[in-house]
Structure 1
Amino acid sequence: MDFRFTDDQLTLAESVRDYLAGTHGPEVLRRLDTEGNRDPAIWQGLVEMGLTGLLVPEAQGGLGMGLVEAALIAAECGRACLAEPLVDTAFVGVPWLVGRGEAEGLEAVVAGERRIALSHAINPWVADGEGAPVQSVDPLRNLALRDGEATDDADLLNLGALMSAAQLVGLVDAMLTQAVEYAKIRTQFGQPVGAFQGLKHQLASCSVAIEFAKPVVWRAASALQDGAASAAVHVSHAKLAATDAAMLTAETAIQVHGAMGYTYEVDLHFWMKRAWALAGAWGDRAFHYARIDDAVLGGALAIGPEHTFA
């Protein structure tokens, strides 16, 4: 089995990365934080790139791509700390509706006229939904209190957890880059702090953590896309690995920035707060650890090399 990405997949991800880097930098995040969190021009740019229709079937005017491509783009959304609810609508809501055979209204999603507010029993809130506002640790998330009954659909949970994990991958890359760059310019005892062996080891540990998490996330996307019986376990593994990498990197990046690491003046805080928010979204660490534990120790998931690569 070939787990490598195709040239087309990598080109797509790179084009989205370049676009977001040019349109959604820290200065934009600060503007959104003070002016209402959402900008129609940013949303329209995502629409014009075709991202709102990435997973919409071609019959409804979309690109008809799969969850692997969506996970790659979700990672780029995390890298840019994208404020707009592209991932929730286009990469979680759309495939969930398509999987249920609900194609009505997808053309409006492609056109950017419809956003899908997702309500699941595992979340006490609805992202970009209507109702009483809920304060989030992330100032760029618009949350509303869940009103009434919510679905406990496992497919929706797996999609939400997968795309949260994918965003965390991008967030870690961005936080690690910021920490490394700051370590090059911050000086103590007459030299950059990045020259100290202890700090090098901390940053190296973050790099190892995210490089180990990435293939786990891509495997989960592939398993969920293929409808594998073990997909739910792979999704929980991805959420765990990405969350652990994000928590380690956020803590290390704060330490690299010194006492300023927590402050509003440092751009890092936007990525750090998004990582904290996503760590608890669509199932926290305890929930996903329990799902893996139940599958492995309960015998539902066969383990060993003869099964892993079957």
Structure 2
Amino acid sequence: MDFLIAPERLELAEAVRDYLAGTHGPEVLRKLDEGDNRDPAIWDGLVEMGLTGLLVPEESGGLGLALLDAALVARECGRACLAEPLVESALVMVPWQLRNGGLADADAVLSGEAQPLPAHQINGWQSDGEGEALESVDPLRNLAALLDNASDDAQLLDLGAVMSAAQLVGLAEAMLDQAVEYSKIREQFGQPIGGFQAMKHRLADVAVALEFARPVVWRAVQALDDEAGSASLHVSHAKLAAADAAYLAAESAIQVHGAMGYTYEVDLHFWMKRTWALAGAWGDRAFHQRRVDDAILGGAHPIGPENTFA
């Protein structure tokens, strides 16, 4: 059985990564933070790349790709700490609508004029919604209080949770990269701290956590795409693994940067705050841990080597 992701899928994700690296760097994050958190030019660029139509069927003018492609793009959105609600709109709400009656106006979604945004009861807020404005730990997220018609749909919850997990993987990767680069230039006792064994072990632990989290997230995405009966279990496992990796990356990156890692002057804080925000979005740790416990301890999902690939 081949568990590798097809090269063409990785090429799309790499193209998104390159684009965001050139248009959505730390200087842009700071500019957005000083303004109203949104720049129409950024959204227009995402539309021009065709990302708003990533999951829209080809017969409706979209790219007609799969959830795995969307998750790979969501990972890059996390890596870039993207401010625009692309994930919530094109990668969560669009596939949910397609599975529940279809898009109301595919052309408006493809052109970027319409941004269908999810509102689920588990969150208590809506990203870029039209209700009462709420304050977020992440300064680049615009949140609004939920309206009375918020959904309680389990499928929407799973889509939101798994795309949050994919973003958390990207966030963790970005923070690890920042920590590694800084460890090469920060010196103590006349040498870069990256040469100290304790620091190497700390960063290696993050790399290991990411190696374990990535396949768990991709497995959950595939289970959702296949509409497997165990999909919710895999989604909760993915959210837990990705959040743990991102938290570890944040803690380790702070340690590498020293006390200044907590300050506004260090770019790291944008990725840390997004991690804190997404870790609690679409179900917190207690919620997803309970779903995993109920499935395994309740016998709904038997464990053991004979059931690994069932």
1:225 equivalent in structure 2: 225
Instruction: Please give the residue correspondences for 1:95-244 in structure 2 after superposition, counting only pairs within 5 Å.
Output: 95-244=95-244
Matches of 2:16 and 2:272, distance apart in 1: 22
Q: Secondary structure at the match of 2:260?
A: helix
Q: Which is worse superposed, 174-183 or 191-200?
A: 191-200
- For structure 2, list consecutive stretches of 5 or more residues without a partner in the other structure: none
Q: Can you list the C-alpha shifts for 1:50-98, whole angstroms capped at 9, x where unaligned?
A: 0000001122211111100000000000001111000000000000000
Q: Secondary structure at the match of 1:265?
A: coil
Aligned length: 310
Matches of 1:106 and 1:139, distance apart in 2: 31
After TM superposition, give the deviation of residue 16 of structure 1 in Å. Answer: 0.6
Matches of 2:309 and 2:118, distance apart in 1: 34
1:67 equivalent in structure 2: 67
1:253 equivalent in structure 2: 253
Alpha carbons 1:94, 1:106 under 8 Å: kept: no
Matches of 2:291 and 2:175, distance apart in 1: 29
1:19 equivalent in structure 2: 19
Q: Can you list the C-alpha shifts for 1:124-146, whole angstroms capped at 9, x where unaligned?
A: 10000001111101000000011
Matches of 1:149 and 1:87, distance apart in 2: 21
2:80 equivalent in structure 1: 80
Matches of 2:200 and 2:8, distance apart in 1: 35
Q: Which is worse superposed, 2-11 or 19-28?
A: 2-11
Identity %: 70
1:295 equivalent in structure 2: 295
After TM superposition, give the deviation of residue 104 of structure 1 in Å. Answer: 1.6
- Partner amino acid, structure 2, of 1:39: D
Matches of 1:254 and 1:136, distance apart in 2: 21
After TM superposition, give the deviation of residue 190 of structure 1 in Å. Answer: 1.0
Matches of 1:203 and 1:169, distance apart in 2: 15
After TM superposition, give the deviation of residue 196 of structure 1 in Å. Answer: 1.2
Q: Can you list the C-alpha shifts for 1:209-254, whole angstroms capped at 9, x where unaligned?
A: 0111000001111111111111110000000000000111101101
- Partner amino acid, structure 1, of 2:218: W
Matches of 1:204 and 1:104, distance apart in 2: 47
Q: Can you list the C-alpha shifts for 1:235-274, whole angstroms capped at 9, x where unaligned?
A: 0000000000011110110111011011110000000100
Q: Once superposed, which parts of structure 1, at least 4 consecutive aligned residues long, lie more than 2 Å away?
A: none
- Partner amino acid, structure 2, of 1:28: V
After TM superposition, give the deviation of residue 109 of structure 1 in Å. Answer: 0.8
- Partner amino acid, structure 2, of 1:67: L
After TM superposition, give the deviation of residue 5 of structure 1 in Å. Answer: 1.1
Matches of 1:40 and 1:103, distance apart in 2: 23
After TM superposition, give the deviation of residue 112 of structure 1 in Å. Answer: 0.4
- For structure 1, list consecutive stretches of 5 or more residues without a partner in the other structure: none
Matches of 2:186 and 2:7, distance apart in 1: 38
Matches of 2:103 and 2:254, distance apart in 1: 45
Q: Which is worse superposed, 174-183 or 185-194?
A: 185-194
Alpha carbons 1:89, 1:116 under 8 Å: kept: yes
Alpha carbons 1:76, 1:167 under 8 Å: kept: yes
**Does residue 283 in structure 1 map to residue 287 in structure 2?**
no
**TM-score under structure 1 length normalisation:** 0.98
Matches of 1:304 and 1:45, distance apart in 2: 47
1:304 equivalent in structure 2: 304
Q: Secondary structure at the match of 2:126?
A: strand
**TM-score under structure 2 length normalisation:** 0.98
